[in-house]
Amino acid sequence: MKAILLSGLIVFALAFFAKNVLSFLKVMFAAKKKSFRVDNLPERIRSFMVNVFGQKRMLKNYTWASVEHLMIFWGFLIITIGTIELIVMGYVPGFEIFGFLGGSAQENFLLVLDVVQTLVVIGLAMGVLNRTVIPSGKRREVNSIDAVVILGMIFGLMMTDFGFRAAKVALGVEPQSWLPISSFWASAFLNNLNASTLTFTAEFFWWFHIALVLAFLNYLPYSKHSHVLTVIPNVFFQNLEPRGKMTKIDFENVPDDVEHFGAGKFEDFSWKDVLDAYTCTECGRCTDNCPAWATDKTLSPRDIVTKLRHFATANGGTDAMKNEYLPSEDWVTPEELYACTTCSACVEQCPLFIDQMGKIIEMRRFLTMEGQLTGTAVRTLQKLGSHGNPWGFESGDRTPWAKENEVPVLGNGAGNNAEEFDVIFWTGCFGAYDPRGQEVASTISELLKEAGVKFAIMGPSETCTGDPARRLGEEALFQELAMTNVETMKGFKVKKVIANCPHCFNTLKNEYPDFGSDVEVVSHTEFLNQLIKDGKLKPVKNIDETITYHDPCYLGRHNKVFDEPREILESIPGLEVDELERSRENSFCCGAGGGKIWMEEEAPRVNWNRFEEIANHGVETVAAACPFCNVMFEDAAKYQGNDKIKIKDVAELLKDSLDLPVKNSNFEKLASEDNAEHKDADSSKNESPSEV
């Protein structure tokens, strides 16, 4: 009779669970049917093992929560074996899951199970403290009835198993010496009971445990803890492309039924986006590290993901699923989406490999290509389209410092074949027109000359890579600029490029191959560091300063270039590098990425937050490796009235250590003449990023 009742309960529970899973799969595959990612299987398997079983991402940064989760996670894996044993006991009384191994294998398992269940209870207590003792304003997690139910169910599973084992110990069926915790419960509550009462107690806790297991299984699909079911495919099918690479929209092969581009309706998101949404545990790590959220903007990466889940749950199977737009005032507002700096901190911090930034970018694409982008960013896109740079300057006046420094320019006295040179220096728009950017570009050119590197620039033939356009959502303009640059480089037979702007570096390296580019791309820090290792640049002059290094998002998190800039600084005699608290993968954004450098920003600004951290660190200089970061920090220094901290590119510090002859700089004069020559009726035409 017991076996029949148990079988009926299991069949009913599994049937209901299967119904829920099928409903979820139906919703998930109502989104785009993008192919399953199965490339680079060894890396996928490695990441799965390290991050699911090893909990590597989970153990990063948040010690209390990480230890809590580690105990519960591994406890569940082991307890699942014990639960299987209990279920089989319903059919085979006295069944021992490791009994077939002989010796003390079963007893060892019982000891491990007893200890692990205790650790799970401790983990649950830590979770309760985390949600009650920490003030709500400082708490990442969101308290909810759902969390209470889940914690209660897990606690119930532990206590019912303890109750069952304790009753068995009191009956003399289970070995007391191998179940120390259960034996404690037995001695405290059960030793004075008679055999029939103990038998009933064991049976009661057994049935209670089985019922909780099946209830827990069926509650998961309705809960934020559905990640227990979805985390394995979510981690395995993660995007292994470079973090800074955006997907290409194929404008040439557009299906007839396509109404718009980007993600507007539910069907525009991919099945992996939906899987992400149902995998999110709302832990808040992404939001806790978001620069927009940290500076009181409306954007919360967690909310972006959960809103997609709530949208699917609320509208599943209705006409709203096909007709309602997610980017809207009712769901995800434009203010949220355009607040993103695309720094990727949210993606970096998520232990479940959810791509918050990808969803934001796709919804931005929809809004921008539907004409909903406003403000100074629109003028920037117009100038990119008409002049190939965000200021609207003429291409003929690009890089005025090149003539002064006698830098060869392809197509202008240096021939049309880049094969005559070791490398082509991609100066970027800042190196071309911005006075501060020109200083850095000139410094790099001096270092390359000092090392005997044969290099040239493309000068007027170079145009903006299109990074601002693509990050702001104007994909068509980006592709126009990208194809122009790719064809130009092919015409010059360019094989290798060095880029000092991480945004140019990322776009040229990761995104241009989609448009036929096969050019090798390195950052200036990688190239200069190799010159030092090869002995072609020898830092000899002492710089007795304490400095710190700021990791640019598009160089660090997006492309994993962390060590090379630091190795350059470490090679300089006398220089002491004092790391910021938020550095390397955890670096805080300067606020310029994602086209934000060309947009208005409400106070408090992201760059103020980062520069305040730098100022409080007690250093004399902050070294960066990005013209965007330099501009943002100089703007923040002016706002804070701080003229004590020097803001330098890594290349400038390297040049100082080589003790090269000092040259008179005409950059301000050149920039002033350039501005005067190109002024027009639009007074905002030549705004600098800091003025925006």
Q: Residue for token digits 């029939």?
A: 196
| Phi, psi for 523 (deg, rounded to 5) | -80, 160
User: Please, which pLDDT band fits residue 552 given cuts at 50, 70 and 90?
Assistant: very high
User: Please, which pLDDT band fits residue 589 given cuts at 50, 70 and 90?
Assistant: very high
Which region among 83-92, 165-174, 521-530 has the lowest average model confidence (pLDDT)?
A: 165-174
**Residue intervals in the chain for CATH 1.20.950:** 35-236
Highest mean pLDDT out of 56-65, 395-404, 557-566: 557-566
Spatial separation of the C-alpha atoms in residues 58 and 1, rounded to whole Å: 45
In the predicted structure, residue 102 carries a pLDDT above the cut 50:
yes
Give residue 683's pLDDT: 37
Q: Of 517, 487, 493, 498, which is closest to residue 416 (Cα–Cα)?
A: 493
User: Please, which pLDDT band fits residue 116 given cuts at 50, 70 and 90?
Assistant: very high
In the predicted structure, residue 134 carries a pLDDT above the cut 70:
no
User: Please, which pLDDT band fits residue 100 given cuts at 50, 70 and 90?
Assistant: confident
Give me the DSSP letters along 632-656: HHHHHHHHHT--SSEEEEHHHHHHH
**Residue intervals in the chain for CATH 1.10.1060.10:** 266-369
In the predicted structure, residue 87 carries a pLDDT above the cut 60:
yes
Spatial separation of the C-alpha atoms in residues 440 and 445, rounded to whole Å: 9
Q: Of 620, 618, 651, 614, which is closest to residue 633 (Cα–Cα)?
A: 614
**Averaged pLDDT of the chain:** 89
Give residue 675's pLDDT: 43
By percentage, how much of the chain surpasses pLDDT 70?
A: 93
Q: Of 56, 183, 179, which is closest to residue 107 (Cα–Cα)?
A: 179
Inter-residue contact 500 to 624 (CB < 8 Å) = no
512 Cβ neighbours under 8 A, 6+ residues apart: 465, 482, 485, 486, 519
Q: Where do the H-state alpha helices sit in 560-666?
A: 563-570, 606-615, 627-640, 650-658
Give the mean model confidence (pLDDT) for residues 245-273.
89
CATH number for the domain formed by residue range(s) 35-236 = 1.20.950
Spatial separation of the C-alpha atoms in residues 36 and 306, rounded to whole Å: 23
- Over residues 664-691, the pLDDT tens digits come to 555 444 444 444 443 343 433 345 444 4
Spatial separation of the C-alpha atoms in residues 516 and 529, rounded to whole Å: 29
In the predicted structure, residue 173 carries a pLDDT above the cut 90:
no
Give residue 678's pLDDT: 39
- Cβ burial of 264 (10 Å; 0-12, 13-18, 19+) is buried
In the predicted structure, residue 297 carries a pLDDT above the cut 80:
yes
What is the second-level CATH architecture of the domain 266-369? Orthogonal Bundle (1.10)
- Over residues 423-470, the pLDDT tens digits come to 999 999 999 999 999 999 999 999 999 999 999 999 999 999 999 999
Task: Name 521's bridge partners.
Answer: 497
Instruction: List the structure tokens of 75.
Output: 């406890």
Give residue 669's pLDDT: 45
Give the mean model confidence (pLDDT) for residues 313-323.
80
Give the mean model confidence (pLDDT) for residues 530-543.
95
Highest mean pLDDT out of 146-150, 280-284, 575-579, 677-681: 575-579
Inter-residue contact 363 to 332 (CB < 8 Å) = yes
Give residue 417's pLDDT: 82
- Over residues 199-238, the pLDDT tens digits come to 999 999 999 999 999 999 999 888 878 888 899 999 999 9
Give residue 246's pLDDT: 94
CA 69 to chain centre: 21
Angle, helices 63-89 vs 195-219, to 10°: value is: 120
Instruction: List the structure tokens of 674.
Output: 């350039």
Give residue 140's pLDDT: 65
In the predicted structure, residue 398 carries a pLDDT above the cut 90:
no
